[in-house]
Amino acid sequence: MAVPQKDTEKIVDLLKKNIAANFAGSIWQSLMALIFIPIYIKFMGIEAWGLIGIFATLQVIFGLLDMGLSSTLNREMARLSVLPHKEQEMRDLVRTLEAIYWSVAVFVGITAVSLSPFIAHHWIKAGQLSGKTVEQSLLIMGFVIALQMPAGFYSGGLMGLQRQVLLNAITIIISTLRGAGAILILWLISPTIQAFFLWQIIISAINIFLLALFLWRRLPRGDNKAVFQKQLLKGIWRFTAGMSGIAVMGTILTQLDKVILSKMLSLEMFGYYMLASTVAISLGCFF
């Protein structure tokens, strides 16, 4: 059955908007990184940037516990949104995966916090930063990682609903507040790595609130309240397992060097390594 020309034009127009929004979001985040990193280092020092690099590495590693749920929600929202009478199933699926995801996020937070003393005193080789400062920073990191994890989940849902313009608008606003706000905190309140990560907790909570709010508001209305439905997991577990396997391989390829070097190098040298790595990745978004 041929698709009407008007519908085809709408699909093409939506595709163009989504591509442009994704491109704008990626470029803006890269610009924020390139602009703000030198200022972070000026206020806090290169060792503090090394800790931020360790935070980014831990975030990716713990992200493996996503278990493909974000990609699964993306696919299922896109699939169900074009099928008739699937409104209630869409809402129940989001509620089901949301409950699982938040349980995982809490587990990740507890694990990261529990590991902070070991990582601070037996893994990281700090110089100017005291062991207490490193341990406190890692402790705060655990809360930040737990709060940031569900962002991928809610983003996957919005992408599946073809809300890339809205998602990237939120991304641009949050990335700007995350970077500019951190600089104001370091400048006006305290130029310490602890203050930096405390601001990340605040902005991450705002980000999660906005993403969750807009995802639930963009879902079609159902006949009943969204509830946890265990049987919905039976139809998606194979895809979820496959995406999880891909994520494991990707993480090994991209993070193994950082894990090894964070143990071998001093925190200062690791900071320089992460600086070069971040700049290279950010510049790669422009080509």
pLDDT of residue 170: 92
Return the residue matching tokens 């209305």: 221
- Tokens 């127009």 map to which residue? 13
Give pLDDT < 70 ranges for the chain: 1-11, 14, 282-287
Let me know if 130 is exposed, middle or buried by CB neighbors in 10 A (0-12, 13-18, 19+): exposed
Closest CA to 184 of 174, 195, 194, 173: 195
DSSP annotation of 81: T
Question: What's the pLDDT at 285?
Answer: 58
Q: What is the pLDDT of residue 263?
A: 85
Six token digits for residue 82: 């074009």
pLDDT of residue 181: 93
The whole-number pLDDT of residue 4 equals 56
The pLDDT value recorded for residue 284 is 61
What is the pLDDT at residue 235? 75
Within 8 A by CB and 6+ apart from 105, the residues are 146, 147, 149, 150
Alpha carbons 137 and 133: distance in angstroms, whole number: 6
User: For residue 196, what pLDDT is reported?
Assistant: 95
| pLDDT number for residue 232 | 81
pLDDT attached to residue 2: 46
**CB of 160 within 8 A of CB of 73?**
yes
pLDDT at residue number 17: 76
Amino acid identity of 48? A
Residue 30: the pLDDT is 80
Please name the residue ranges forming H helices in 81-130. Answer: 87-122
CB of 216 closer than 8 Å to CB of 157: no
Tokens of 73: 């929600």
What pLDDT score does 9 carry?
64
